Structure 1
Amino acid sequence: MNTLTQRLIAALPLALVAACGSSPSSTASNGETMIYASSARSPSSIANCLEDRLSSVHESRNGNAMELAIGSSSDASYLVSLTPNGYGSVIRVTHGASSSDNPPEAEFRFAVARCTT
């Protein structure tokens, strides 16, 4: 293996950790995608995990997709869409209409990361 390849392999774990620990977006507005990822876990498995880790999770269905409102059901802080695909799920998270940060964004991102891996 050449030196460049060794350096890239050595830097890969650091790059993955940096991606998971992104700083909260203070400019994200209502409807703007915060997280877009895929997971090998099913939508129902991810939803159950998020319900265990976070308070105030309200679940609904939209066709094939599961929709989770995090926070007040009428004024959610975060909206999570879980759509099944051939390998598990596609996860899309947007800010809800609420101006509150309940739960705090860092805690919410951590729960999403835990529940989708």
Structure 2
Amino acid sequence: MNPNTGNENEETLKNLIEAARTSQRQLSRDINIAEVTVNTWVAGKKIPRFDNAALVAGQLGVSLKALAKAMRVDVRDIPGDYSLIELKAIAADLGIERVADLPADFETMRRMRDREN
């Protein structure tokens, strides 16, 4: 879990905090977690419990998968996060114009598109 290893272009928790235009101190205040705890996550010494990870991800505006990846957790087998642009493109391919006409989940929509192609 060393944040100083690997590709320098990889996201880190520190990068995510900076991208959210906040600080470790402010993040700790916003999620009501001790600053020393947030600092240990940023330093790569520990990773947050799932409930705290959800708080961090929500506060930083990132997915749990993006947060886990930034904290050097192996996320290879976790299904991908889908962007709104990607969802709109698939809906357009299927001729879906109204939100009410969308299937319940992304995977169903993708399978529908793949059957048509």
TM-score computed with the length of structure 2 as normaliser = 0.30
Q: Which structure has the greater CA radius of gyration?
A: 2
* Higher helix content, 1 or 2: 2
TM-score computed with the length of structure 1 as normaliser = 0.30
* Higher strand content, 1 or 2: 1
Which structure's relative contact order is higher, taking Cα pairs within 8 Å and 6+ residues apart? 1
